[in-house]
Amino acid sequence: QVQLVESGGGLVQAGGSLRLSCAVSGRTFSTYRTFPYRMGWFRQAPGKEREFVAAISWSGDSTGYADSVKGRFTISRDNAKNTVYLQMNSLKPEDTAVYYCAADPTYGSYSADHHEYDYWGQGTQVTVSS
């Protein structure tokens, strides 16, 4: 069993910053390495479908971002802590949503497709006021 727990959400004014964390517990060791998952962040605003935000590969050497957050958000991972982060700068009201982290045990590059992720956190609310 794998558990993902997000934290770091909250209320912030437009132009502000937040850093989300996602701690992964449970099956975090493999034959090859610790924290053997590629990770992604997704978000869902009220009345809208879940959308891709950012993702990072198994090795951490490749990342991908939605066009709407490129240049403002940064995804990173700390394999020693089994944690992935999403640094969000220059936040806009349209970034308001519930943010979810997701884990996929597939070896390889990152994925922007939420269907490919096996494990999900419970979500953390981010609200950006204008």
The whole-number pLDDT of residue 11 equals 98
The whole-number pLDDT of residue 31 equals 52
Question: From CA 85, how far away is CA 6, in angstroms rounded?
Answer: 9
Contacts of residue 36, defined as CB under 8 A and 6 or more positions apart, other chains included, come to: 28, 29, 30, 58, 105, 107
> Burial code of 36-68, b = ≥16 C-beta within 10 A, e = fewer?
bbbbbbbbeeeeeeeebbbbbbbebeebbbbee
Q: What is the pLDDT of residues 66-97, one digit of tens each?
A: 999 999 999 999 988 999 999 999 999 999 99
Q: What is the pLDDT of residues 38-49, one digit of tens each?
A: 999 999 999 999
Q: What is the pLDDT of residues 8-40, one digit of tens each?
A: 999 999 999 999 999 998 876 555 566 688 999
